[in-house]
Amino acid sequence: MSEGYTLVELSRPKYAALCLTHNCNLRCTYCYSGHKLDRSMTPETAMLAIDFLHDPSGGSCTITFFGGEPLLEIDLIKDLVSYSRSRYKDRVKFRMSTNGTLLDRSVLEYLRMNDVYFVLSLDGSKQQHDRCRRFAGGSGTYEKIACHFERVLQLNPYTMAVSVIVPETAEYLASGVRDLFAKGFRYVVQTLDYSAPWRKSDVKVLKRQYESLAAFYHDSLRTGRKIYYSPFDERIKTRAQKRYGRGDLCDLAHTQIAIAPSGRIYPCVQFVGLDEILDQAYSIGSVHDGFDNARRRCFVDENYADKEACAGCALEGRCATYCGCVNWRATGSLRTIPPIICEHERMLMPIVDRLASKLWKESNPLFKHKFYERSFPVSSYLDDCMLTREA
């Protein structure tokens, strides 16, 4: 344990991924959850999980329906939302991560009426998306999702598109992001699959793609278009506002946990796997028996400890990629950072900083409002509401 680390007091989880099923109708090439099994959470276990997660002191907890594909269990979702609202009113909030292929008008209307906001797993353009995100039979899934874009964005204009880049799709990164914004998405959250076999030549491709997107981002803000692109926005924040501290990016086993269909608790969704014998070695308790705080403490302390690879790095506190779960998946250790993360940050940060400097020197009003005014999220939302009414 690092001498500079002071033990934190374990607190109630604020965010929990409720893995409703091990099953999925897709077979994405980069999926980390293992074989797909027709094994789902029982209503009894799910309701017990809600009881376990709610804060008796009156605070709130956000539960994200996860899987597998959670919409395979839409009836269970409806039962859980009804159960929670009847017992805890709005103290338990619900979100969902979905591949979008099971959305239809009735599901979308239900989610809207019950304030279940969701993110769409969407890798970019059709060519890019269908490369990795396929049905079990091997066909692409883009068209099945794209037919719902207009309806989804009507119901929630702030719906996030969550993208994963692998070496074989790196060449589509810029065109894919531009396509998502052209389709009407305002928020694109994007990350690499850091456990993939990245080569130096792939990083060079990524650099060209980011440089192209930097020009697109600059032009968007110059014309007053509000967009959020996580590889740029999250790094600009560390320049304009504050650097990341312990737990800001990844607070596994502490304020963030995952619950498997069996009811076992894991530090993060990446540890759940199939919830079988080897996976259970990472369990930190269950909704039936509560936390095993000794095991929970081990994960929290290991994740919070200083990382030897980060010592003396100029980007420490600015690196927007750090994640103990990613470290574990790629290297088998929470504290061992895969080399591609460091190489990616050192390549991307100068591009981001040049972009930010250019926008600052131009006194771009949207840039300054976005990154230097704390009231921006609220004022931006109110502006959007006014524009919607006028339209």
Per-residue pLDDT reduced to its tens digit, 252-302: 999 999 999 999 999 999 999 999 998 999 999 999 999 999 999 999 999
Per-residue confidence (pLDDT) for residue 5, from 0 to 100: 61
Per-residue confidence (pLDDT) for residue 1, from 0 to 100: 47
Tell me if the domain spanning 123-243+341-391 has CATH number 3.50.50.60.
no
Q: Looking at the DSSP assignment, which residues form a beta bridge with residue 18?
A: 65, 259
Q: Which residues of the chain have pLDDT under 50?
A: 1-3, 391
Residues 6+ apart with CB under 8 A from 300: 8, 10, 252, 253, 254
Structural domain spans, the chain: 123-243+341-391
Per-residue confidence (pLDDT) for residue 7, from 0 to 100: 77
Tokens of 246: 């312990």
Per-residue confidence (pLDDT) for residue 304, from 0 to 100: 93
Q: Rounded to two decimals, what is the model's pTM?
A: 0.93
**Closest CA relative to residue 28, chosen from 177, 206, 193, 232:** 193
Per-residue confidence (pLDDT) for residue 309, from 0 to 100: 85
The answer to whether 8 and 254 are in contact (CB under 8 A) is yes
Per-residue confidence (pLDDT) for residue 4, from 0 to 100: 54
Tokens of 243: 């650097």
277 vs 379: CA distance, rounded Å = 50
Per-residue confidence (pLDDT) for residue 130, from 0 to 100: 97
Helix, strand, coil % over all residues of the chain, rounded to 5: 45, 15, 40
